[in-house]
Amino acid sequence: MEYAAALLPPVVMAIFFIGLVRVIVKTQGGAAKAKEDAAVDAAFAHAEGVRRAAAPKSEA
């Protein structure tokens, strides 16, 4: 019966991990994806604007 006690923790952790992966996969996309993408695009645009403003101006 010791083998059952030895196998129980890894089996429980495996079931929990599979459930966690399923939740992560199911929550990808949908309405929240558009909002997240817009937030990332805005952050990139802001960072690019700051980088361009801080860059030294070359005179041609």
Residuewise pLDDT in 10s, the chain (60 residues): 788 889 999 999 999 999 999 998 887 877 778 888 889 999 999 999 888 888 777 655
pLDDT score of 12 = 95
pLDDT score of 58 = 64
Per DSSP, 37 falls in state: H
User: In three state form, how does the secondary structure of 7-28 look?
Assistant: HHHHHHHHHHHHHHHHHHHHCC
pLDDT score of 16 = 97
